[in-house]
């Protein structure tokens, strides 16, 4: 016979502090096999997007790895996939950084020189932000 459901200390409460950003009144999020945790709406939305992205990546990798094993599996001992993926991740990150740097360099070199009106506007922006930043810096140095 089943016992009636009761709130035991092991039962997590529906609301709690967000695990990620500590916002109040976050709701329960289940991520098996991990223990349930609380996430606020913004973190909940981000986590579900990550989960969907990870699920799609895993699905793509499974198909690719299965195809690779069907071709190379008998002649090439199965490599440490974790290490292979780690190296691939590092390589992709390096390429992404290089491409970002390349784009920035191109943007800077292809930007036309500013005209007098744009120079005046840029100087006004600098002047508007300069004073509060100097005040903040002075306050920070005062508290050293």
How many residues are listed for the chain in this entry? 144
The span from the CA of 87 to the CA of 93, in Å, is: 10
Please tell me whether residue 20 binds Zn ion under the rule CB under 5 A: yes
The span from the CA of 109 to the CA of 105, in Å, is: 6
Residue with tokens 């002075």: 138
What is the smallest separation between the CB atom of 79 and Zn ion, expressed in angstroms?
38
Binds Zn ion (CB under 5 A): choice among 14, 15, 21, 53: 21
What is the smallest separation between the CB atom of 16 and Zn ion, expressed in angstroms?
11
Nearer to Zn ion, 21 or 98 (CB): 21
Alpha helices in the chain, H assignment, sequence order: 41-72, 81-110, 116-142
Stretch that binds Zn ion, among 6-14, 41-49, 55-63, 76-84 (CB under 5 A): 41-49
Binds Zn ion (CB under 5 A): choice among 23, 36, 46, 65: 23
Instruction: Report which DSSP code applies to 115.
Output: -
CB-CB contact of 26 with 38 (8 Å): yes
Nearer to Zn ion, 48 or 56 (CB): 48
Stretch that binds Zn ion, among 36-44, 49-57, 68-76, 119-127 (CB under 5 A): 36-44
The span from the CA of 31 to the CA of 80, in Å, is: 26
Please tell me whether residue 37 binds Zn ion under the rule CB under 5 A: no
Binding to Zn ion, residues 52-111 (CB under 5 A):
none
Please tell me whether residue 47 binds Zn ion under the rule CB under 5 A: no
Please tell me whether residue 43 binds Zn ion under the rule CB under 5 A: yes
∠ CA(130), CA(136), CA(137), 5° rounding? Answer: 85
């Amino acid at each position: 016979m089943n016992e009636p459901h009761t709130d035991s200390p092991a039962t997590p409460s529906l609301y709690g502090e967000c695990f990620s950003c500590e916002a109040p009144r976050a709701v329960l999020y289940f991520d098996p096999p991990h223990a349930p945790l609380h996430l606020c709406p913004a973190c909940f939305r981000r986590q579900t997007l990550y989960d969907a992205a990870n699920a799609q990546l895993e699905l793509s990798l499974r198909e690719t790895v299965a195809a690779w094993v069907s071709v190379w599996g008998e002649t090439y001992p199965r490599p440490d996939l974790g290490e292979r993926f780690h190296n691939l991740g590092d390589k992709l990150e390096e390429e992404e950084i290089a491409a970002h740097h390349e784009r920035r360099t191109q943007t800077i070199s292809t930007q036309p020189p500013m005209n007098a009106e744009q120079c005046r506007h840029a100087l006004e922006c600098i002047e508007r932000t300069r004073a509060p930043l100097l005040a903040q810096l002075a306050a920070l140095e005062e508290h050293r």
